[in-house]
Amino acid sequence: MIRRRRERPPVTNEFTAMIEGQVALIQQQHKDDLLYWQSRTFAERSEAIMAVCQDAVIIMEAQQNMGMTIRDPDPWPKSTQDILRRLAADARR
């Protein structure tokens, strides 16, 4: 017996409009975030990154204190390591 795939219901204009509206909203939100961070100074961006890292340490310590196992993060891909190595070398010059 041959099974045929069920046909998808037709996409209505209302559904398409809803999806397009959601996509536009997400794009606008990311645009605002990007503009916000681009308007910050290097020092402000650095402080924000440091704060996030410190919060991550606090969370990991709390997890250890509760007896939860801490999963080692996956290593970065070699391509990412190469890019970071090249950027660091350029910054030293």
Per DSSP (E only), the strands in 1-93 are: none
Residues 47-74: tens digit of each pLDDT: 999 999 999 999 989 999 999 887 777 7
Name, in order, each residue with C-beta under 8 angstroms of 63's C-beta and a sequence gap of 6 or more: 70
Q: How far apart are CA 53 and CA 22, in angstroms?
A: 31
CB contact burial 70-91 (16+ within 10 A = b; e otherwise): eeeeeeeeeeeeeeeeeeeeee
- Residue 24 confidence (pLDDT): 85
Q: How far apart are CA 33 and CA 30, in angstroms?
A: 5
- Examine the pLDDT at 1 and tell me if it is beyond 60: no
pTM, 2 dp: 0.46
What tokens does 70 get? 């801490």
